[in-house]
Amino acid sequence: MTKYRVNKTKHVDQTKTVSFDFDGKSYHGFEGDTLASALLSNGVHLVGRSFKYHRPRGIMSCGSEEPNAICQINEDTNLTEPNVRATEIELYEGLKASSQNCWPSVNFDIGGINNFISPFIPAGFYYKTFMWPKSFWKKIYEPLIRWSAGLGKSPTKPDPELYDHKHVHCDVLIIGGGISGIIASKIAAKKNLKTILIEDKNILGGSTIFQKNENYKINDKYSGEWIDEEIAELKKLDNLTIKTRTSLAAYHSYNYLLAKENISDHLPLDKRNGGIRQRLWKIRADKVIVATGAIERPLVFNNNDRPGIMLSNSVKKYLDFYGVSCGFNNVIFTNNDSAYETAVSLKEKGISVEIIDIRTKSNSKIVKNAEQLGVKIYWNSTVVNTFGLRKINSVEIMNLSEDGSNIVGDKNRINCDCLAISGGWTPMVHMHTQSGGKLDFREIDQTFIPNEIDKNHINVGSCNGDFELEEIINNTNKKVKNFLKVSETEFDNISVLNSKELDKRNIWLLPNFISESKCKSFIDFQNDSTAKDIKLALREGFKSIEHVKRYTTTGMATDQGKLSNMHALGIIADTAGVKMGTLGTTTFRPPFTPLTFGAIVGRSVDNFFDIIRKTSIHEWHIQNKAKFENVGQWKRPWYYPINDEGLHDAVQRESKAARDSVGILDASTLGKIDIQGTDASEFLNRVYTNAWSKLGIGKCRYGLMLNEDGMVYDDGVTTRLGENHYLMTTTTGGAANVLSKLEDYLQTEWPELDVYLTSVTDHYSTASICGPNSRKILKKIFPDKDFSDDAFPHMSYQNCKIDEINCRIMRISFTGELSYEINIESKYGKSLWEKCIEAGKEFKITPYGTETMHLLRAEKGFIIVGQDTDGTMTPIDLQMDWIVSKKKYDFIGKRSLYRSDTIRDDRKQLVGLITDDPNEILEEGAQIVSDMSKKPIEMIGHVTSSYFSPNLNKSIALAVVKSGKKMNGQKLIVPMENKNINVTVSDSVFLDKENKRINA
Amino acid sequence: MFLINCPYCGERDQSEFSCGGEAHIVRPKQPTELSDDQWAEYLFMRKNIKGVQFERWNHAHGCRKWFNMVRDTSNDKIHAVYKMGEKPPVE
Ligand SMILES: [Zn+2]
């Protein structure tokens, strides 16, 4: 046993030694320790350097509010994790932890130089620095910030562990397993409500569990013993689920909460067995009882950040729960009664302790108890300075003036190796405010307490501002009874012995004889902001707490200001001379404590990251070595390389084959919407720009759909299958949006129309066969069918059969070639495809992917919505005036086509571009200019599609250019990084302007 | 994360729904007869109130039905849901 392990407790098993590494040195602790308690038991206080000044910092607390003891664990493995609080992580065999932010070591830290130049790092330093001369920035400040910045390292390898999500519903959720949470759980579960209790520690009982003091008794038992019995009974209740090691991350509206359960974080690495590491619980609770407790406040005085300065209640917990004394020569510095519990506990174990109290007296029993035990108390005194480089060795104290605003008398030096501070308590109202709850300010002890209006949640215990044992038990009982409509409980007639008083003397910034500008009175320990910074921000004109917070970075570190927010507010109120309650508080946002990315994403990684949609022909594509492209959620063949062909060569070959002989494309992914109803034609009239009423049954028509603002939204071919029956196709990526847009109009604007929409995208597979030999293949597959132009003209469809299977053949073309699309029920898609390949062998049928499809349509000047359009293009901009009906009274977007903005003739318009050098391929997205001499050079457009056309043997491009319509033949420039490319504006149809090939 | 009472399906999680903006903006029956200003008023102008607002919602991952909702945007309280075409509840 190390010399600091002075006490045996039932929470730490001192027969089970656990070895661990901290900063490369080996230590021993015991099962039940946290990393922090194990370090303290070895006398290690110094665990890191502060963020800005690199001052030595020690363990300060025992919970999630810890600002200093932030570690990197298991460094150099793919399990490494930064920003782990040593006070929260349970010790396990082989744990390797290291301090963050202290190169080369905690004991010798070069960044400590910041401390000496600190007068130059005032509030808003990071903002102000940017305004300084450039030379200062590069040589001095950037390296300096780079040194200082960054808390920890993120892992560089993929996370090998499993994470899980689970949804759960319950009648009552209780957050926090301290005394009030336990009382609430018992009442709820006994009322037969489905109850869940979550607690972030590994055991229940909160701070009551280690209470063994004559002054605090429940039903004549020590409160610690009483709660043990309660917990034992609680565990027997059937309809109560207790989740320990589970911390609430977020409390959203309508009682939707997220909690993270640590499942294997406390186990040695070799015992984790690849199971789930953390689980994110998604809880929907009918009622929520918040019992998250309170955090002890530090005090703000000069040099209040040395290692060995700790929160008073934490010192008590290390002693009574972990059996570790943080020092042998303790001084307690307090403004309230609660710190006397620590003093009594230390003294009872024979450990030296003295008390410095800001107040002039206190009459409570616990104070009397301390006095009787012989604890020396310095009343009406304050600490004005502390000493000790790597650990505190003494404090200097002075008396306070009557009003507390100044110091009087002489300095008095007291030696110590631990200074336990207590500035009173701050209710943890984070959960209450996250849920949308408001706060009230309580003047007597300067706290914000929940103002409950929401009928579906309550706050109980010290998070509700009840700090006295009697108050906690009785108020919790009363509130929970009311909330859950219970008439009587076992807690109704309980006898509680109480010893504290709420009274305290609150001084946010303790006075000093040293001038304020020379004091290092820290408020935010993790971000190194001092009282001076806050005052400077106020002098510079910042008034809102939200602004002061950002300007000084107070409360913006990983602890989210759990220890600092109240002091920042208090000092602002004092300095500005306003009442603290009028300032409001900063907004508490989720997560309460940092969440791992693993817990957030759960199983949604790799193949489960997003839905992957595959066509029924997918396997064939894989067997034939297709490279795939993601289009929305679809996997589409991009190109089919032969041997070691690259993209360019494959696409040139495929494109040539499709025009010279025959190509085949899997077009199954195009959106397909089945439209039926007596008003189907009228409906299409309203949603497309062109007219539909006269389209004959069995005919196909290309349609363009606009948004109400007149901009092109989607396009596709729609086929009239029957009098009141159409099949609409949409772009692959737009299918879902088009359907919901059409549903929207049908349901909300035109409910009188008799029209029904059904998505049938997945119902059919589509093989698109294109090229001069396509008709011959169709004839082989459907020998009985007449494919002559007269019998089966372009833009028409026919029902056919392969064996006994129905299919629809549309003669439509997106390439300008003679082309057929065969649609068949999806389950037959692959056999249809294979049949086509087989039949096409003698014509060297060539499968082609999306890239070739894009090239072929570009040769014909056909647009792709989303590539050549970007939501700012009207059909007129696209030179597609021919498709906009002049006769129709109305269609979606019609009125917008002659707004003052859309009729401008200097809008960007679609044109073709031909490079002067036919082998120069433009980059898609490249900017276009006309005049390089006038600065700044005006960009008049950009390239939207660009390819080398093997059929024209030259480079072609589509582009949108301001006033492009009038520019045919004009020379323009596409400036690139290394050269300017000369181009000529052309018609956007490059190949077969007369449309001869379609009927070839 | 709200619980939304779809008028067709009942109470469902918010993740099943999408919001379609302000409700009760009727598409003009004769758009061609409107001035640019009048059309722009219909097309672009939305109130975006802090407080009680009438909104369109769609049970997108459910019955796909559109309906209306009265919601207080300052605290996300949903005061009413009602079907398209029904009169909004009087405040
Ligand atoms: Zn529904």
Model confidence over A335-388: pLDDT tens digits?
Answer: 999 999 999 999 999 999 999 999 999 988 999 999 999 999 999 999 999 999
Does A546 or A46 have the greater pLDDT score? A46
Mean pLDDT of A512-533: 88
Q: Where are the domains of chain A?
A: 1-158, 162-294+427-497, 298-423, 513-597, 671-712+719-759, 900-999
* Sheet architecture: strand order including A394-400: A381-387, A394-400, A407-415
CATH number at residue B66: 3.30.2270.10
Question: Which chain B residue has the Cα nearest residue A251?
Answer: B1
Distance of alpha carbon A165 from the chain centroid: 15
B25: containing domain: 3-83
Closest chain A C-alpha to B65 CA, distance in angstroms: 8
Any B CB within 8 A of A749 CB: yes
For B24, nearest residue in chain A (alpha carbons): A748
Which pTM was predicted? 0.88
Cα of A684 to ligand 1 centre, how many Å? Answer: 26
On whether the CB atoms of residues A71 and A97 are closer than 8 A, the answer is yes
Task: Kindly provide the b/e burial profile for residues A658-685, where b requires at least 16 CB atoms within 10 angstroms of the residue's own CB.
Answer: bbbbbbbbbbbbbbbbbbbbebbbebbb
Cβ-contact A404, A505 below 8 angstroms: yes
* Interface touch B3/A900, C-beta < 8 Å: no
> Residue B61 C-alpha to ligand 1 middle, in angstroms?
8
pLDDT value at A136 more than 80: no
Average pLDDT over residues A794-805: 95
Q: Which CATH superfamily is domain A671-712+719-759 in?
A: Aminomethyltransferase beta-barrel domains (3.30.70.1400)
Joined tokens for residue A918: 């036919």
Q: Which residue has the tokens 């102000």?
A: A128
Mutation site for A-interface testing, chosen from B39, B59, B86 by largest number of A Cβ within 10 Å: B39
Residue whose C-alpha is closest to residue A95's, from A117, A79, A116, A110: A79
Alpha carbons A85 and A955: distance in angstroms, whole number: 61
Tell if the CB–CB gap between A284 and B3 is shorter than 8 Å: yes
Q: Chain B contacts of A747, Cβ < 8 Å? A: 65-66, 84
Measured between beta carbons, the chain A residues lying within 8 angstroms of B73 are none
Confidence of residue A144 (pLDDT cuts 50, 70, 90): low
H helix or E strand, kind and range, residue A396: strand A394-400
Given CB atoms, is A376 within the 8 Å cutoff of chain B? Answer: no
Round to whole Å and give the CA distance between A501 and A583. 27
Positive/negative CA dihedral, A611, A614, A619, A623: negative
pLDDT in tens, B17-50: 999 999 999 999 999 899 999 999 999 999 999 9
Which residues have a Cβ under 8 Å from the Cβ of A762 and sit 6 or more positions away?
A: A826
Give me the mean pLDDT over the A435-442 stretch. Answer: 90
Single-letter residue type at A573: A
Q: What is the mean pLDDT of residues A916-934?
A: 95
| Chain A residue nearest residue B68, CA to CA | A748
Residue in A747, A901, A904 to test binding to B, most B beta-carbons within 10 Å = A747
Residue A119, pLDDT > 80, answer: no
Of B1, B27, B66, the CB nearest to A253: B1
Helix (H, G, I), strand (E, B) or coil at A869: coil
Distance from CA of A711 to the nearest CA of B (A): 13
Question: What is the average per-residue pLDDT within A500-521?
Answer: 86
Tell if the CB–CB gap between A284 and B34 is shorter than 8 Å: no
**Residue of B27, B61, B83 to mutate, testing the A interface (most A Cβ within 10 Å of its Cβ):** B27
More confident residue, A81 or A969: A969
The partner residue sitting opposite A895, judged by closest CB among B3, B32, B84, is B32
CB distance from B12 to chain A under 8 Å? no
* Residues around the ion ligand 1 (C-beta < 5 A): B 6, 8-9, 59, 62-63
Cβ atoms of residues A679 and A755 within 8 Å: yes
The CATH architecture annotation of domain A1-158 reads Roll (3.10)
Q: Of B6, B30, B36, which to mutate for an interface test with A (greatest number of A Cβ within 10 Å)?
A: B36
For all residues of chain A together, what is the average pLDDT?
92
ipTM tops the 0.90 cut = yes
Is pLDDT above 90 for A401? yes
Mean pLDDT in residue range A396-414: 94
- Residue A865 CB partners (closer than 8 Å, separation 6+): A712, A713, A714, A715, A731, A734
The CATH H-level superfamily of A900-999 is: Aminomethyltransferase beta-barrel domains (2.40.30.110)
Does domain A298-423 bear CATH number 1.10.1200.10?
A: no
- Residue A749 burial class via C-beta count within 10 angstroms: exposed 0-12, middle 13-18, buried 19 and up: middle
Q: Is A254–B2 a contact, with Cβ atoms under 8 angstroms apart?
A: yes
| pLDDT tens-place string over residues A420-429 | 999 999 999 9
Task: Kindly state the tokens that stand for A689.
Answer: 């720009």
Structure tokens at A921: 């391929």
In this chain, the answer to whether the domains covering A1-158 and A298-423 adopt an identical fold is: no
Determine the distance in angstroms separating the CA of A167 from the nearest CA of chain B, rounded to an integer.
12
Question: In this predicted structure, what is the pLDDT of residue A130?
Answer: 47
User: Of A792, A856, A820, A858, whose CA–CA distance to A717 is shortest?
Assistant: A820
The confidence band for A52, taking pLDDT boundaries of 50, 70 and 90, is confident
Whether A76 has a pLDDT exceeding 90, the answer reads: no
Contacts across the A-B interface (CB distance below 8 Å)? 53
CATH of domain A162-294+427-497: 3.50.50.60
Average pLDDT over residues A831-846: 97
In whole angstroms, what is the distance from residue A444 CA to residue A427 CA?
14
Measured between CA atoms, the residue of chain B closest to residue A737 is B60
What domain count does chain B have? 1
Q: Is the pLDDT of residue A792 over 80?
A: yes
Residue A104 binned pLDDT confidence (cut-offs 50, 70, 90):
very low
Superfamily of domain A513-597: BFD-like [2Fe-2S]-binding domain (1.10.10.1100)
**pLDDT tens digits along A552-604:** 888 877 777 888 888 888 998 888 888 888 887 777 888 888 888 999 999 99
Inter-chain residue contact B39 with A709, CB threshold 8 Å: no
Cβ contacts of B60 on chain A, cutoff 8 Å: 740
Q: Residue A124 pLDDT > 70, yes or no?
A: no
* C-alpha distances out from residue B86 to A825, A855, B24, B47, Å: 41, 51, 10, 21
Could you read off the pLDDT of A806-822 as tens digits, one per residue?
999 999 999 999 999 99
- Ligand 1 center from residue B19 Cα (angstroms): 13
Q: Report if residue B90 sits inside a domain.
A: no
- Partners of B1 on chain A (C-beta within 8 Å) are 252-254, 256
B16 Cα to the center of ligand 1, angstroms: 9
Pair B81, B89: CB distance under 8 Å: no
How near does any CA of chain A get to the CA of B71, in Å? 13
What average pLDDT does this structure show over A50-60? 85
**Distance from C-alpha of A143 to C-alpha of A140, rounded to nearest angstrom:** 6
CB A867 within 8 A of CB A944: yes
Least CB–CB distance from A899: residue in B27, B36, B84: B36
Q: Give the separation between CA A303 and CA A305, rounded to whole angstroms.
A: 5
Q: How far apart (Å, rounded) are the C-alpha atoms in residues A631 and A638?
A: 10
Which residues, numbered 884 to 903 in chain A, qualify as contacts with chain B under a Cβ-Cβ cut-off of 8 Å?
889-890, 894-896, 899-900
Q: Give the number of other CB atoms < 10 A from CB of residue A182.
A: 27
